[in-house]
């Protein structure tokens, strides 16, 4: 290709010229760091198992994989094309049927359900749709790390309220149920500026499954102050020891103000498919649709088709021993018990999770050779985790 000299010169000059305007939008200030970028890199460098990020090391169930293969290789070539923007019709229909049954209400698949690129995009849509400059959003600590930057990116202010640990009964290991909200402290966080509260039950990272009583407390405050509830329920099927996952949207006065967020990644052990959804009243979801149609717009059709078939299968096996949702929880409960015993045996104090993939352990009394760094800005737990990654890899590791 012939390029004229003058064009070359212009290109050269424009590459040389630095922009004098700030490149970064102000709302990105202070939220450019992400702990997973750092830890995923560390885990790869030292060939350690990354237990921090929530994804399984086993395959999704055969019926789901087969459904995806059928979607890709079957006669219906339209499954390779765009589908309905707010959710592939077979998927929104089965989600409406499934969640309608769980919530005890009739759901309109076209208005009360919207499919997203994983639960992550569902969260993003909620904050963008509901939060204005100056609005406050209550976040319960400890929390899934993206809530805080997403609230800030929408112009809102996160207001934190901690789950506080209560000492376990003599000789017992602490459970995630021992971490509770102080009702007065929670109530004090609601103000005129509060727009929404983020609820994550079962909770990442503690594994806490909020009891009906705790949810009623939150619900009463939401109703009293006319607040929205963004209810992240991606671990809804990963609940152990016969505990019940209560949906806050089913409590009095809550349906109209709650968006339920779910994830096929967590539900069917297929996090790489990135299929998620929101369920809620159209008066709320209509604003999520506005954000969705002006950002992602369509989600992968074949993956949605496969997830639809997965839910169809689960609807038929609902509550039965061969339901995947029943089996998965059983399997993970055994793994949890094994990990709890192992951590306890080496002198860490595991907080026994009632649900999720996660487990938090108290290392305050664990003897280690982590170098002392007086006045370090970095918290001890972060330094400890890095020390483990670098120094306690298996024999063949670096």
Comparison of 68 and 144: residue with beta carbon closer to ligand PMP: 144
DSSP assignments along 304-373, one per residue: HHHHHHHHHHHHHTTTSTT-HHHHHHHHHHHHHHHHHHHHHHTT-EEEB-SBSS--EEE-TT----PPP-
How many residues lie near ligand PMP (CB under 6 A)?
14
Our finding on whether 199 is near ligand PMP (CB under 6 A) is: no
Q: In this complex, which beta carbon is closest to ligand PMP, that of residue 204 or of residue 301?
A: 204
Q: Residue 214 to residues 51, 194, 208, 369, 380: CA-CA distances in angstroms?
A: 29, 20, 11, 40, 31
Binding of ligand PMP by 285 (CB under 6 A): no
Is residue 271 near ligand PMP by the rule CB under 6 A? yes
333 binds ligand PMP, rule: CB under 6 A: no
Among 99, 144, 210, 268, binds ligand PMP (CB under 6 A): 144
Helical residues (DSSP H) of the chain, grouped into ranges: 5-16, 35-45, 62-73, 89-103, 118-130, 147-153, 183-188, 212-225, 264-267, 282-293, 301-316, 324-345, 380-391
Residues 15-54 that bind ligand PMP (CB under 6 A): 54
User: Distance between CA atoms of 314 and 323, rounded to whole angstroms?
Assistant: 6
Name the token pair of 154: 């929408």
Binding mask 72-111 for ligand PMP (x = CB under 6 A): ----------------------------------------
Binding of ligand PMP at residue 232 (CB under 6 A)? yes
Interface residue with ligand PMP among 176, 200, 201, 309 (CB under 6 A) is 200
What crossing angle do the helices spanning 324-345 and 301-316 adopt, rounded to 10°?
Answer: 90
Shortest Å distance, C-beta 145 to ligand PMP: 9
Residues 76, 142: Cα–Cα separation, whole Å: 45
Q: How many angstroms separate the CA atoms of 171 and 344, rounded? A: 12
Residue keyed to tokens 């055994």: 334
Helix (H) and strand (E) counts in the chain: 13, 11
Asked if 120 interacts with ligand PMP (CB under 6 A), we say yes
Q: How far is the CB of 108 from ligand PMP (least distance, A)?
A: 23
Q: Which of 60, 61, 87, 118 forms a contact with ligand PMP (CB under 6 A)?
A: 118
Question: Considering only residues 90, 142, 276, 353, which one is a binding residue for ligand PMP as defined by CB under 6 A?
Answer: 276
Residue 204 interacts with ligand PMP (CB under 6 A)?
yes
Torsional sign, CA 190, 164, 37, 380: positive
- In the complex with ligand PMP, the residue whose CB is nearer, 59 or 78, is 59
User: Which of 144/237 has CB closer to ligand PMP?
Assistant: 144
Single out the residue of 92, 107, 115, 119 in contact with ligand PMP (rule: CB under 6 A). 119
Which span (113-121, 149-157, 214-222, 332-340) binds ligand PMP, by CB under 6 A?
113-121
Cβ neighbours of residue 197 closer than 8 Å, sequence gap 6 or more: 137, 138, 139, 140, 218, 221, 222, 227, 228, 229, 230
Note whether 163 and 177 are within 8 A (CB).
no
The nearest distance, CB 280 to ligand PMP, in angstroms, is 16
Closest separation in Å from C-beta 125 to ligand PMP: 12
Q: What's the CA gap between 358 and 345, in Å, rounded?
A: 18
Shortest distance (Å) from residue 134 CB to ligand PMP: 26
Binding site for ligand PMP (CB under 6 A): 54, 118-120, 144, 200, 204, 232, 234, 263, 265, 271, 274, 276
């Amino acid at each position: 290709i012939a390029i004229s000299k003058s064009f070359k010169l212009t290109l050269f000059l424009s590459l040389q010229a630095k922009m004098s305007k700030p490149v970064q939008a102000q709302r990105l200030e202070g939220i450019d760091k992400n702990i997973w970028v750092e830890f995923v890199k560390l885990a790869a460098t030292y060939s350690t198992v990354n237990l921090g990020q929530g994804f399984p090391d086993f395959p999704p169930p055969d019926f789901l994989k087969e459904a995806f293969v059928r979607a890709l290789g079957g006669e219906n070539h339209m499954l390779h094309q765009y589908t309905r923007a707010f959710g592939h019709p077979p998927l929104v229909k089965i989600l409406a049927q499934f969640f309608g049954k769980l919530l005890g209400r009739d759901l309109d698949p076209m208005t009360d359900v919207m499919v997203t690129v994983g639960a992550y995009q569902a969260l993003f849509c909620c904050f963008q749709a509901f939060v204005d400059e100056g609005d406050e959003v209550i976040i319960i600590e400890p929390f899934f790390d993206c809530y805080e930057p997403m609230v800030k990116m929408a112009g809102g202010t996160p207001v934190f309220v901690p789950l506080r640990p209560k000492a376990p009964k003599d000789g017992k290991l602490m459970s995630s149920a021992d971490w509770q909200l102080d009702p007065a402290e929670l109530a004090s966080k609601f103000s005129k500026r509060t727009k929404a509260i983020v609820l994550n039950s079962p909770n990442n990272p503690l594994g806490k499954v909020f009891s009906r009583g705790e949810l009623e407390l939150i619900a009463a405050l939401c109703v009293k102050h006319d607040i929205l509830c963004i209810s992240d329920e991606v671990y809804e099927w990963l609940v152990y020891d016969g505990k019940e996952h209560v949906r806050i949207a089913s409590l009095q006065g809550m349906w109209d103000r709650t968006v339920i967020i779910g994830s096929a990644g967590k539900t069917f052990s297929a996090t790489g498919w990135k299929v998620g959804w929101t369920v809620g009243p159209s008066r709320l979801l209509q604003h999520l649709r506005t954000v969705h149609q002006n950002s992602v717009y369509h989600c992968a059709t074949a993956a949605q088709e496969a997830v639809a078939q997965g839910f169809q299968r689960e609807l038929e096996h609902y509550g039965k021993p061969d339901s995947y949702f029943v089996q998965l929880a059983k399997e993970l409960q055994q793994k949890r018990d094994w990990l709890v015993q192992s951590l306890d045996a080496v002198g860490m104090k595991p907080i026994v999770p009632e649900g999720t993939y996660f487990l938090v352990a108290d290392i305050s009394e664990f003897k280690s050779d982590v170098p002392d760094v007086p006045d370090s800005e970095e918290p001890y737990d972060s330094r400890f985790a890095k020390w483990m990654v670098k120094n306690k890899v298996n024999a063949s590791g670096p």
